[in-house]
Amino acid sequence: MRRFAHAATLVLAACSPEKAPEPAATPTASASAQAPAPVPADAPVILAFGDSLYAGYQLNPGEGYPPRLEAALNAGGVPAKVVNAGVSGDTTAAALQRLQFTLDNQPVKPTLALVGLGGNDMLRGLPPAETRANLDAILTEFDKRDIPVVLTGMLAAPNLGADYQKQFNPIWPDLAKKHNAGLVPFFLAPVLGNKDLMLEDNVHPNARGVDKIVAETRDQVAKALKAATVK
């Protein structure tokens, strides 16, 4: 999403009215300030395959979604190693092109994958049919390798028009059903519209925002990981 920060500000700002700022977190209350729980050597691997929302755009090392999710899971007694395979700027087409290489080069086969893509397709105004086809192919590859998936979804901004929304928004629930994948309907729902939780571009979450998203998604990820390890 990096190349389209200005466009994203205009597009995504329409998705949600601005919320009142949350009270500032104290150092002891901030999840980012806590020392992460150790990751067991034999912990199952979660592959976070996505764009800048996974890559940790403009965040310090350890502040992005994959490392914060890993810390939250292990702190909650769910052993997991989360591998960050997010690339800023990726469209679904670009991600599809690198998927096989990414999977082939994992030292350990992922037990679970998170797939978070589609925002850059929307910002470029790419046809939703292409986004659907690319995500379908990505999920098919995970299916072939017997790697369960949790999709973290995206929504089209209202100012793109009702027709675009009608084609774009159902992609994630439709494909989750088709591929028997888990679904987070809208990844940015916990933070969008709250400037206290966003970077200055009003598109990407800051460190506090990432922690908010982690808090909203970790239980679902933990449940999916447990199901994947006992199947």
Centroid of chain to Cα 87: 11
179 an active-site residue?
no
196 an active-site residue?
no
Coil, helix or strand at residue 52: helix
Indicate which residue of 32, 51, 121, 204 is catalytic. 204
Indicate which residue of 136, 143, 196, 201 is catalytic. 201
- Closest by alpha carbon to 95, among 111, 109, 114, 82? 114
Report the alpha-carbon distance of residue 153 to residue 174 in Å, rounded. Answer: 11
Beta strands in the chain (DSSP E): 45-50, 81-86, 112-116, 149-152, 182-184
204 an active-site residue?
yes
The overall longest dimension of the chain from CA atoms, in Å, is 49
Indicate which residue of 32, 52, 90, 211 is catalytic. 52
Residue with the two structure tokens 């150790």: 38
Residues that are catalytic: 52, 201, 204
